[in-house]
């Protein structure tokens, strides 16, 4: 394998400082500026150190980089006023949902104003007739589904964390249900956003399709706060399926599990979820959630459909698994059993961190065409076997998407260097297989250099767009594209 990321390796070798370096406060954020924010939002403005640090941190190994001030607007109009003030003083703006990002997306690399949308938590309208909903950006996916409980509808996108829907749109999130229902790309019908100069823009109407002009909705989905602040999101909803069943199946080998997934997808069986956990992840999940799954590579499935359809799907997948060393299917058809199963899966990240007490997680994900998934996973497995680092693997494998969590001591340069080396090789391999450097975590700070290898000349187009829409470079500076 050729070394295509020498610059990244060089950076890793330069041994990152164990804590964030002292960063001067952005010059424009002085007492008068904060007073102007207070004028707009009253007591919904904070410069307390604990609040600032909490907002400069995500759930990964990235250094805490605190903003100078955190604001808590409640409406699109308030966001627009804050943005206008920032624009007038060239102060950076960092949108913040629940802080569950994994690539340093909320780090305030140049200080500035963190716009925390957690108080924008209103569900503005639900249309059961049109199967759609409009929410403020701070509404979380669990809050939405709780609200929908009596309607017979649900919102399927589920990245594990109880993230805000604005944040999920901003990172183009997906997760376990994407194999059946798509990602935020397919499920956001429209956005209300505040542009870097304070203009309020609605990107589209509620019609299911449109050919009326440029697709601003999808330009902003996945833009990670670097082009605008997302304040409202209109989403597709789906009818709760007549029948749902979930099942767990252990495999003799990792390859058998992956081949089962590939064949399931290639046969067009409409599984709603198909998740891979390697032995190490199963071990972690068992310990964390007090379960007794056999410590083997394991697939978690969920089937949605009519009563007959769900049985039919499960039987077809069982037959495929049987050809690839799959053991018995353990089914969970009761809602509470299914919930326990998926909660255990969702806790895999936190469970992994317990495998090495005191460690931090360096999570990474790639996505490849399904035909390449077995090679991509098995070659990665070989890398891990010869490494000093522990790195459980999980995956939304029906999409060709899988994750590693490198368990690192952030104060140990060797750990960081080794994680960087493995991550380089993972991404390099994914790109060689026609895949992408991130299926769903986003670019943030952590994957910027990979973008160049992935996109080539397209990066120059992305830079043109960034320059056109945010000429001052105040929107979430340093993320996605290197300044």
Q: Which residues from 258-297 bind a second copy, rule CB under 8 A?
A: 262, 266-268
Choose which of 139, 368, 405, 408 interacts with a second copy (CB under 8 A): 368
Task: Name the CA radius of gyration of the chain, rounded.
Answer: 22
482 belongs to the binding site for a second copy (CB under 8 A): no
Q: Residue 255: name the closest of 385, 367, 393, 378 by CA.
A: 378
Q: How many residues bind a second copy (CB under 8 A)?
A: 88
Distance separating alpha carbons of residues 354 and 242, to the nearest angstrom: 38
Choose which of 40, 59, 123, 238 interacts with a second copy (CB under 8 A): 238
106 belongs to the binding site for a second copy (CB under 8 A): no
Closer Cβ to a second copy, 223 or 260, answer by number = 223
Taking contact as CB under 8 A, which single stretch among the options 13-21, 71-79, 318-326, 455-463 is the one that binds a second copy?
455-463
Closer Cβ to a second copy, 196 or 297, answer by number = 196
Question: What residue has token string 């767009």?
Answer: 465
Choose which of 73, 92, 256, 439 interacts with a second copy (CB under 8 A): 439
Query: Nearest distance from residue 175's CB to a second copy, in Å?
Result: 10
Distance separating alpha carbons of residues 365 and 436, to the nearest angstrom: 9
Distance separating alpha carbons of residues 321 and 249, to the nearest angstrom: 8
**CB neighbourhood size of 118 (10 A):** 17
Distance separating alpha carbons of residues 413 and 324, to the nearest angstrom: 41
Query: Nearest distance from residue 200's CB to a second copy, in Å?
Result: 7
355 belongs to the binding site for a second copy (CB under 8 A): no
User: Across the strands, what pairs with 250?
Assistant: 298
| Structure tokens belonging to residue 444 | 């943030």
Taking contact as CB under 8 A, which single stretch among the options 274-282, 383-391, 409-417, 436-444 is the one that binds a second copy?
436-444
Taking contact as CB under 8 A, which single stretch among the options 58-66, 81-89, 345-353, 440-448 is the one that binds a second copy?
440-448
Choose which of 293, 418, 440, 474 interacts with a second copy (CB under 8 A): 440
Query: Nearest distance from residue 322's CB to a second copy, in Å?
Result: 21
What's the CA dihedral at 144, 146, 151, 153 to 10 degrees?
60
Distance separating alpha carbons of residues 483 and 247, to the nearest angstrom: 47
211 belongs to the binding site for a second copy (CB under 8 A): yes
58 belongs to the binding site for a second copy (CB under 8 A): no
Choose which of 239, 287, 339, 343 interacts with a second copy (CB under 8 A): 239
Choose which of 9, 44, 119, 218 interacts with a second copy (CB under 8 A): 218
480 belongs to the binding site for a second copy (CB under 8 A): yes
Choose which of 119, 381, 417, 455 interacts with a second copy (CB under 8 A): 455
Closer Cβ to a second copy, 1 or 201, answer by number = 201
Query: Nearest distance from residue 205's CB to a second copy, in Å?
Result: 5
**CB neighbourhood size of 291 (10 A):** 13
134 belongs to the binding site for a second copy (CB under 8 A): no
Query: Nearest distance from residue 44's CB to a second copy, in Å?
Result: 26
Residues whose CB falls within 8 Å of the CB of residue 182, separated by 6 or more in sequence, listed in order = 157, 174
Residue 387 phi/psi, 5° resolution? -105, 155
What's the CA dihedral at 133, 134, 135, 140 to 10 degrees?
30
Closer Cβ to a second copy, 54 or 234, answer by number = 234
204 belongs to the binding site for a second copy (CB under 8 A): yes
Closer Cβ to a second copy, 25 or 308, answer by number = 308
Distance separating alpha carbons of residues 362 and 364, to the nearest angstrom: 7
Q: Residue 354: name the closest of 284, 279, 281, 280 by CA.
A: 284
User: Across the strands, what pairs with 276?
Assistant: 299, 395
Choose which of 447, 475, 476, 477 interacts with a second copy (CB under 8 A): 447
Choose which of 58, 68, 132, 232 interacts with a second copy (CB under 8 A): 132
Query: Nearest distance from residue 169's CB to a second copy, in Å?
Result: 11
Query: Nearest distance from residue 194's CB to a second copy, in Å?
Result: 11
Q: Which residues from 378-417 bind a second copy, rule CB under 8 A?
A: 399-401
Ramachandran bin of 110, using left for φ above 0, alpha for ψ from -120 to 50, beta for the remaining angles: alpha
Query: Nearest distance from residue 153's CB to a second copy, in Å?
Result: 10
363 belongs to the binding site for a second copy (CB under 8 A): no
CB 281 within 8 A of CB 347: no
User: Could you tell me the strand order of the sheet in which 132-136 lies?
Assistant: 123-127, 132-136, 229-236, 188-194, 200-202
432 belongs to the binding site for a second copy (CB under 8 A): no
227 belongs to the binding site for a second copy (CB under 8 A): yes
Distance separating alpha carbons of residues 92 and 105, to the nearest angstrom: 14
Distance separating alpha carbons of residues 269 and 259, to the nearest angstrom: 14
Distance separating alpha carbons of residues 368 and 459, to the nearest angstrom: 20
């Amino acid at each position: 394998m050729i070394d295509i990321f020498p610059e990244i390796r060089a950076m890793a070798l330069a041994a990152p400082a164990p804590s964030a370096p002292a960063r001067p406060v952005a010059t424009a954020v002085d007492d008068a500026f904060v007073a102007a924010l207070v004028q707009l939002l009253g007591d919904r403005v904070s410069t307390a150190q604990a609040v600032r640090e909490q907002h400069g941190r995500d759930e990964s190994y990235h250094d805490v980089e605190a903003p100078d001030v955190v604001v808590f607007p409640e409406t699109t109009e308030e966001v627009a006023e804050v943005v206008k003030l920032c624009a007038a003083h060239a102060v950076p703006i960092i949108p913040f949902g629940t802080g569950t990002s994994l690539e340093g997306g909320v780090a305030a690399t140049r200080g500035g104003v963190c716009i925390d949308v957690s108080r924008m938590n209103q569900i503005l309208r639900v249309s059961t007739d049109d199967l759609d909903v409009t929410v403020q950006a701070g509404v979380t996916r669990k809050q939405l589904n709780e609200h929908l409980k009596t309607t017979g509808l649900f919102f399927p996108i589920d990245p594990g964390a109880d993230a805000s829907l604005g944040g999920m749109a901003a990172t183009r999130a997906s997760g376990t249900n994407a194999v059946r229902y798509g990602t935020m790309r397919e499920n956001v019908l429209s956005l209300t956003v505040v542009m870097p100069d304070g203009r309020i823009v609605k990107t589209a109407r509620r019609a299911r399709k449109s050919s009326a002009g440029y697709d601003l909705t999808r330009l902003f989905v996945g833009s990670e706060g670097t082009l605008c602040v997302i304040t409202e999101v209109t989403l597709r909803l789906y009818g709760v399926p007549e029948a749902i069943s979930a099942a767990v199946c252990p495999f003799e080998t990792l390859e058998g599990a992956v081949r089962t997934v590939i064949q399931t997808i290639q046969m067009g069986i409409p599984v709603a979820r198909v998740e891979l956990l390697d032995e190490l992840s199963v071990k972690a999940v068992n310990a964390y959630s007090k379960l007794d799954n056999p410590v083997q590579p394991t697939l978690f499935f969920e089937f949605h459909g009519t009563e007959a359809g769900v049985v039919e799907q499960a039987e077809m997948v069982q037959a495929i698994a049987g050809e690839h060393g799959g053991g018995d299917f353990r089914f969970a058809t009761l809602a509470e059993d299914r919930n326990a199963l998926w909660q255990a899966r969702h806790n895999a990240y936190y469970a992994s961190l317990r495998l090495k007490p005191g460690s931090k997680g360096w999570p990474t994900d790639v996505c490849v065409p399904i035909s390449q998934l077995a090679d991509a996973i098995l070659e990665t497995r070989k890398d891990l076997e010869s490494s000093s680092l522990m790195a459980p693997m999980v995956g939304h494998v029906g999409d060709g998407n899988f994750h590693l969590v490198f368990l690192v001591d952030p104060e140990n340069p060797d750990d960081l260097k080794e994680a960087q080396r493995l991550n380089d090789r993972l991404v390099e391999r994914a790109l060689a297989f026609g895949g992408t450097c991130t299926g769903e975590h986003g670019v943030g700070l952590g994957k910027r250099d990979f973008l160049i290898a992935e996109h080539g000349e397209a990066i120059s187009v992305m830079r043109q767009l960034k320059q056109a829409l945010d000429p001052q470079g105040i929107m979430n500076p340093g993320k996605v594209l290197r300044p």
